[in-house]
Structure 1
């Protein structure tokens, strides 16, 4: 077997199926079929493979996918919602690399009633321990009848560790519930919690992948726009 024209002598050699040319007896080996799935991750599930404490992981939910898939980004243990999983490493890198500014949209419940001034702070960026956040899209979904809580939809183009939670904490509040509802133009829709499905051809195209699974250079629209006002939508569906 040769990798990029050189005989592979190390059985532990790492290869990149997207970039390396692999041949056996002069014939190229077929690339594995690219698979892209959307999972509604429940709260309480890890996005890592295996856990020394025996906690459930997203791999417990995707055993029937038929191939090894890795999460394109992560959701923390207490966050539920949309998680893309794939065996396409280049696609995963483009989704997760902040340089590509792929929008991630969340719905959350804040522990306090947030003012319009505080929402404007979120839009303009707040100072965190690892630097100021980028501009964000913020929509007040509703306030609780008791006027104690605020429900928001927040769109960011970064992926820092527990970023949304830390942004709300920077306002002196706390996130009680957090659900990721969209990545780029792809929304979780009515997919049941804990279930997964393959991305449709249109969804793959919107994320820059053609019908054959080949990646295309394409700018993904960020659904931020003008989100300064209120709008009425159905009550968000949270897990946990």
Structure 2
């Protein structure tokens, strides 16, 4: 038996807090009866409806995918392009990506059917480290990279890196390999930040997400997360969310 709001959150309908509001507002039915008591617990055989729509009570699953470039971080695409779920054809649960990686960015992305877990990791205060490796056109100076750490407004949006360092440079080709650590994951954030200091990004890869990395994996590979990995991510997110 699990609390009703947790079951609703796991189904990806809403965050747990939003689910609690829906219950109190009389928008949730259990076995055909409206339930407004937050302490209500339900089992696998109970039928739960939210605003008249039955929810599926799948077992929660968690996967790590090494997303190739040229793939959409979605479950479908109206232009017929490849999406991340195409790489997990054997997974029967209705999974979705947690956050997104841009079409032309490769690297680590998580997929799950656990809406509560996804909402927790995407919470703006979660502060889970995301490590990116960027290949820039041109070699930025230390002073220019410091601008990324200080933060900047780009198109009216405040963008900031937690840590930045140059891993290597190639003078003849005038390129640099730069490591960045972000806490947020705004649309095309790394590319926009580098463009704002005059160094377009040629290639971009997310190498780490919290305690997870891509060791032993090739682009297109996926694997289920181990129970202790899921637990570590929950702890990382929960310690920074009030």
> TM-score, normalised to structure 2's length?
0.75
Does residue 109 (structure 1) correspond to residue 135 (structure 2)? The answer is yes
Q: How far apart in 2 are the matches of 1:135 and 1:47?
A: 22
Quote the Cα distance in structure 1 between the aligned partners of 2:121 and 2:162. Answer: 17
1:157 pairs with 183, 194, 200, which one? 183
**Structure 1 runs of 4+ off > 3 angstroms?**
14-29, 215-220
Map Cα deviations across residues 166-206 of structure 1 (whole Å, 9 max, x no partner): 00001111010000111122222221210110111221121
Q: Which residue of 2 aligns with 1:218?
A: 239
Q: Of 103, 106, 109, which aligns to 1:83?
A: 109
Mapping 1:1-240, distance limit 5 Å: 16=14, 19=19, 23-24=30-31, 28-30=42-44, 31-146=57-172, 148-208=174-234, 217-219=238-240
Specify the SS of the correspondent of 1:169. helix
* Corresponding position of 2:51: none
Structure 1 or 2: more helix by fraction: 2
Larger mean CA deviation between 186-195 and 71-80 belongs to: 186-195
Q: Which runs of 5+ in 2 are unaligned?
A: 5-11, 34-40, 45-56
Q: Secondary structure at the match of 2:110?
A: strand
Select between 159-168 and 143-152 the one with higher mean Cα deviation. 143-152
CA pair 17-175 structure 1, distance change in 2 beyond 3 A: closer
The 1:135–1:59 alpha-carbon spacing in structure 2 relative to 1, beyond 3 Å, is closer
Shift of residue 134, structure 1, vs aligned partner: 3.1
1:51/1:154 CA distance change after superposition, 3 Å: same
Residues 88 and 171 of structure 1, relative CA distance in 2, 3 Å threshold: same
| 8 Å contact from structure 1 (residues 22, 28) kept in 2 | no
TM-fit CA distance, 1:127: 2.5
Q: CA RMSD in A?
A: 2.7
- Residues 109-156 of structure 1: per-residue CA shift (max 9 Å, x gap): 001111111111112112311333235211211002526011011011
Q: What 5-or-longer segments of structure 1 have no aligned partner?
A: 5-13, 210-214, 221-240
Secondary structure, counterpart of 1:159 in structure 2: coil
How big is the shift at 1:66?
A: 2.1
Q: 2:161–2:180: 8 Å Cα contact kept in structure 1?
A: no
**1:57 CA drift (Å):** 0.9
